[in-house]
Amino acid sequence: MADTLPILGIFGHHNAGKTTLIEQLLPHLAGQGLAVAVAKVHGADVEIDVPGKDSDRLYRAGADVWMQGRAEGFFRQHGGADEKALAWRLADLARQYDVVLVEGRRPAACDKVWLLGEGETAPPPDAGRVLAVLARGDGRARAARGVLDDWLARRWLEMPVYACVLIGGKSSRMGRPKHLIESGGRTWLERTVGLLGTVAARVVIAGDGCVPESLSAVARLADAPEAEGPMAGVLAAMRWAPDASWLVAACDLPNLSAEALGWLLATRAPGVWATLPRLPGATGVEPLLAHYDPRARGLIERLPGEGNFRLSALARHPKVISPTPPANLAPAWTNANTPADL
């Protein structure tokens, strides 16, 4: 699934204008609220520290060194020439940023824009997956912005969609496991798994509890041990498939509909790390019928360490949106907690 990560190369030979073009692209991306990382891939050695300084001495003694100042920091790491190691590092960046731009000239396994230098008419034969070839000129930046916007929108939607059903709550007010309540000849769990399966490539069940024999082939995930409540199930799912886009649904949503799931998936867009809907007139958000982008995992991972086990805390983050569903879809978010609710 790493092939669907938003990594785009800006490639070309020496003096082709790679850095200049990236400088022109960054304000365009920042204007869309996107978090951007730039990876410079060099064929030669790089010097990013002052010889003789403490940090340089530690690095030359064999350590990877993290430097943090008041306003900036950097990580200096040994190695990096291996293509597999480079691909792993780029993928790790792409799980934290909306887009990663790679500046380089040696082969790399990513989509790329190739910049022609003086006297060049085409990329080299080993350039790989080239989306566009751009010659020098006043229109280069405009053309690159168009390629980037179109590619990023497609790449965001190419990410595989998985779904997780949360079970295992005490159901003390209901008096019996809610996921096993039957309606129309099926348990709520069977109905929920079936609906999610119409829009997701994989469906998993997170949490403890018996499940019907008909769902024996569905993957079961144990809750993340350091979290509590629904957060433990969501973390388990996102760790199980870290590059998937996750739909999460509680097991006690008897009015769940395919239309509501489609509306949730339609909120996916570059820069949106999670969609936690807010129902009409409600003050809080709905994290248990919601969508989580892989980048939301980092936000969730930090919460248990802060003693916070509420997924609704994500709503404070600028990358998380809380749109209001259309009135005709709002019942899908209504859960049932007591026999009277039934």
Which of 11-15, 41-45, 225-229, 319-323 comes out lowest in average pLDDT?
41-45
Mean pLDDT of 306-319: 96
pLDDT at 106: 65
Is there a single domain that holds both residue 191 and residue 128? no
pLDDT at 1: 46
Is there a single domain that holds both residue 70 and residue 152? yes
Examine residue 304 and state whether it is found in any structural domain, yes or no: yes
d(CA 272, CA 296): 9
Examine residue 232 and state whether it is found in any structural domain, yes or no: yes
pLDDT above 60: residue 109? yes
CATH code where residue 284 lies: 3.90.550.10
Is there a single domain that holds both residue 153 and residue 174? no
Its domain, for residue 127, covers 2-158
13 near 122, Cβ under 8 Å?
Answer: no
Examine residue 342 and state whether it is found in any structural domain, yes or no: no
Is there a single domain that holds both residue 299 and residue 274? yes
The contacts of residue 203 (CB under 8 Å, 6+ apart) are: 162, 163, 164, 165, 193, 196, 197, 218
User: What band does 310 get if pLDDT is binned at 50, 70 and 90?
Assistant: very high
Percent of the chain whose predicted confidence (pLDDT) is above 90 = 64
Mean pLDDT of 70-87: 73
Last residue of a domain, one of 158, 177, 196: 158
Is there a single domain that holds both residue 176 and residue 154? no
100 near 152, Cβ under 8 Å?
Answer: no
Examine residue 341 and state whether it is found in any structural domain, yes or no: no
Is there a single domain that holds both residue 41 and residue 167? no
For the chain, the domain total comes to 2
Is there a single domain that holds both residue 165 and residue 145? no
Is there a single domain that holds both residue 290 and residue 179? yes
Is there a single domain that holds both residue 154 and residue 8? yes
Last residue of a domain, one of 158, 174, 203: 158
Mean pLDDT of 15-27: 93
User: What band does 110 get if pLDDT is binned at 50, 70 and 90?
Assistant: confident
Is there a single domain that holds both residue 147 and residue 269? no
pTM above 0.75, yes or no: yes
Element (H, E) at 74: strand 73-76
Q: What does the buried/exposed string (b/e) look like for 87-116 if buried means 16 or more CB atoms within 10 Å of the residue's CB? A: beebbebbbebbbbbbbbbeebbbbbbbbb
Beta-strand pair 130-134/219-221: unpaired
Residue found by looking up tokens 């490539």 in the block:
201
Last residue of a domain, one of 158, 190, 215: 158
Is there a single domain that holds both residue 167 and residue 277? yes
d(CA 217, CA 177): 20
Residue (of 277, 251, 39) closest to 163 by Cα position: 251
- For residue 296, CA distances in Å to 136, 267, 284, 291, 320 come to 39, 15, 19, 10, 8
CATH code where residue 111 lies: 3.40.50.300
Beta-strand pair 36-41/65-68: unpaired
Examine residue 338 and state whether it is found in any structural domain, yes or no: no
Please give the mean pLDDT across all residues of the chain.
89
Examine residue 340 and state whether it is found in any structural domain, yes or no: no
Examine residue 339 and state whether it is found in any structural domain, yes or no: no
CB-side exposure of 193: number of CA atoms within 13 Å?
A: 23
Is there a single domain that holds both residue 231 and residue 153? no
